[in-house]
């Protein structure tokens, strides 16, 4: 009779531990989803760049956005989101190197950046 009590206790403990693993897994998945949502929200908020300001100010803002996007990419676990963030960061590096006096340059960069932004939106959904 004593052995049955020990066996039941062992099975109950095993079931409890398995349940804890499932809870831990669910919590980790939820935290990952929250991280993804907050990362995507912040990144999408960074996507603007006003070409009507002077060139030096525009380049400084682009440099700040590039740095912030790389920081976000370093902290996100999903590869597709990370790659989209790094692609957008690279786009802001490009704008820092351009001659921004030319409206055609701004238009081409804007078109490329919108494509990168669309890729980020898709990765975030």
User: What is the model's pLDDT at position 6?
Assistant: 46
pLDDT beyond 50 at 9: no
- Mean pLDDT over the full length of the chain: 74
Q: Give the Cα separation of 22 and 107 in Å (integer).
A: 50
pLDDT beyond 90 at 73: yes
The pLDDT tens digits of the residues spanning 51-65 come to: 666 777 878 888 998
Q: Rounded to two decimals, what is the model's pTM?
A: 0.66
Average pLDDT over residues 19-48: 64
């Amino acid at each position: 009779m004593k052995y049955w009590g020990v066996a039941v206790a062992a099975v109950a403990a095993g079931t409890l531990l398995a349940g804890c693993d499932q809870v831990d897994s669910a919590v980790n998945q939820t935290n990952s989803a929250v991280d993804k949502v907050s990362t995507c929200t912040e990144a999408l908020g960074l996507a603007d760049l006003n070409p009507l300001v002077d060139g030096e100010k525009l380049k400084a803002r682009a440099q700040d956005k590039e740095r912030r996007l790389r920081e976000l990419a370093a902290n996100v676990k999903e590869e597709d989101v990370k790659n989209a963030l790094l692609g957008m960061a690279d786009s802001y590096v490009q704008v820092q190197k351009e001659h921004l006096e030319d409206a055609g340059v701004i238009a081409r960069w804007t078109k490329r950046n919108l494509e990168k932004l669309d890729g980020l939106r898709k990765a975030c959904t």
